Structure 1
């Protein structure tokens, strides 16, 4: 087998696309750490491709009933499916770099800092009073309150609510995802040690994606090379560097 072929084979195994399949949606998500979740159908397919005997309903059950999985904006400002148990530290680590870009987009959509704050209060009040609501339902509440939702304003305001740690996408409502308050859906979140989170991210990424190098992790996570190198340094005794320079545990 060629060198490239060997790397691909190892990555397929690390990502559960070869070898023994996972038994449940949570096992897949724990291994991959974060699964692209822009389209819920794609996230379900990613789970099913790495498991045996699972159906879309099993993923929806994990989201809606077990609350073991959720979807939120994380790495690179993209929606990802993650294990709920990993939410606090992944959110704390990957979302700070996204806030400046989000503020710029909201401004472009005509929302001032004051309007953003008002919108977040409307979202929080509605979810607290009514429980999980879909994007359409939240748009209605915001429109009644006079908060701009036209164009891309709504999606960036909803993104802001997740970046602030206020909401996540929790249960499925038919084919739609409903937003829920973090404190109601997941409970109060513990304070996160950033160095510990960076160490965890690095180790978990390599468990699910190696062989890889620092640039792979930086591109995947959206973190700086400086942060990635710090994470790799923290787990240096666990690493093995291959002749081609790629790293694995």
Structure 2
């Protein structure tokens, strides 16, 4: 069995995640493919993750990829989380993970409609969806509020969990729009406001080509191993949200090779066992929910356990992190006046301090006047902005 040390894992991460200056990418879609998928729960995270890895960081380049060229698309997928993936990979993500989520979302809404006293059913839902598509075709793009004004069905309210102590009345507009997006019949268009806004407009889209679920899971696993391997079954299960059985079938389908790690065993893509040359020293300021930190269930090779409490919230969401040569060594934040501030949880030396300051300056340069706050706030990020 080949052995891959933690040091080699950090070298791989720096190179394959495009974090060292010499390996940065030229396009947002290339960044997404290098990481397989970018977290998109926070609108700003897509831009911050992509620009941290671009040779020439640019809000306009990411916006063009998302809204004009559509080489980068948002999908509700792994772990029922919103991700941005390249248009090339989107069909595989859709079939391997997003389809099951869309089916469950539809089943849940139909159950709530059936329980409501108005007697709404699948026919009503189908007619409402078609009306939304017709309104979008007429407008080109629209916000949820505009669609509700155009489509009376979206102004319907239903009683959820009737007769129970947590009974509540909800509007259906967000649920219906969410279903259409999950089915890839509509997609998120430019938001109202700046690139940090999550108040998206919507536009008509086309469903992705049908693939074999087995083929789709295998391809997603192969790409994930090339980006994150060596990694464990638990890491892949955590990242995808698949069952352990599906994880093992996908690993077998791609001929994943078992390797010895400094702690336990892991897997790499077939033939991907050769040692890699070290990179130049590098620093990075990565945003909350960035994949380089979030994609692993076991982060021991790049994060000291005692630092987790400061950098993660209680649900396991990572905040903005400071990296040095593959180690997470601190956190950063943007204050209300736009200043980028950071705190190191260990002393990495003068060279690292200078590189981190340079990255903070680079970040401030392209962010300019924009302001953003992570949706899931962590103890250190809160302290830095207090």
TM range (shorter): 0.7 to 0.9
Matched, 1:127 2:147: no
Please give the root-mean-square deviation of Cα atoms over the aligned residues, in Å. 2.8
Kept in 1, the 8 Å contact 2:143–2:201? The answer is yes
Kept in 2, the 8 Å contact 1:14–1:210? The answer is no
What is the CA distance between 1:152 and its match in structure 2? 6.4
Match of 1:94 in 2: 97
TM-score, reference length from structure 1: 0.83
Aligned to 1:85, the other structure's residue is in SS state coil
Q: 1:5 to 1:182 in 2, by over 3 A?
A: same
Matched, 1:242 2:270: no
TM-score, reference length from structure 2: 0.56
What is the CA distance between 1:105 and its match in structure 2? 5.6
Matched, 1:179 2:188: no
Question: What is the rounded CA distance, in whole Å, between the counterparts of 1:148 and 1:15 in structure 2?
Answer: 45
Which of the numbers 245, 248, 272 marks the counterpart of 1:229? 248
What is the CA distance between 1:115 and its match in structure 2? 4.2
Aligned to 2:88, the other structure's residue is in SS state helix
What is the CA distance between 1:125 and its match in structure 2? 1.3
Kept in 2, the 8 Å contact 1:70–1:84? The answer is yes
Q: How does 1:1-249 map to 2 (within 5 A)?
A: 4=6, 6-18=8-20, 20-98=23-101, 99-101=103-105, 103-104=107-108, 107-108=111-112, 112-143=121-152, 146-148=155-157, 151=170, 153-172=172-191, 174-175=193-194, 176-183=199-206, 189-236=208-255, 239-243=257-261, 244-249=264-269
Kept in 2, the 8 Å contact 1:24–1:54? The answer is no
Question: What is the rounded CA distance, in whole Å, between the counterparts of 1:10 and 1:83 in structure 2?
Answer: 22
Total equivalences in the alignment: 243
Question: What is the rounded CA distance, in whole Å, between the counterparts of 2:228 and 2:108 in structure 1?
Answer: 33
Q: 1:96 to 1:72 in 2, by over 3 A?
A: closer
Question: What is the rounded CA distance, in whole Å, between the counterparts of 1:127 and 1:73 in structure 2?
Answer: 20
Q: Which has the larger radius of gyration?
A: 2
Aligned to 1:38, the other structure's residue is in SS state coil
Instruction: Point out where structure 2 has 5 or more consecutive residues left out of the alignment.
Output: 159-168, 270-386
Instruction: Point out where structure 1 has 5 or more consecutive residues left out of the alignment.
Output: none
Question: What is the rounded CA distance, in whole Å, between the counterparts of 1:100 and 1:189 in structure 2?
Answer: 18
Question: What is the rounded CA distance, in whole Å, between the counterparts of 1:82 and 1:177 in structure 2?
Answer: 17
1:140-163 CA distance string (max 9 Å, x none)? 333476444984643332221122
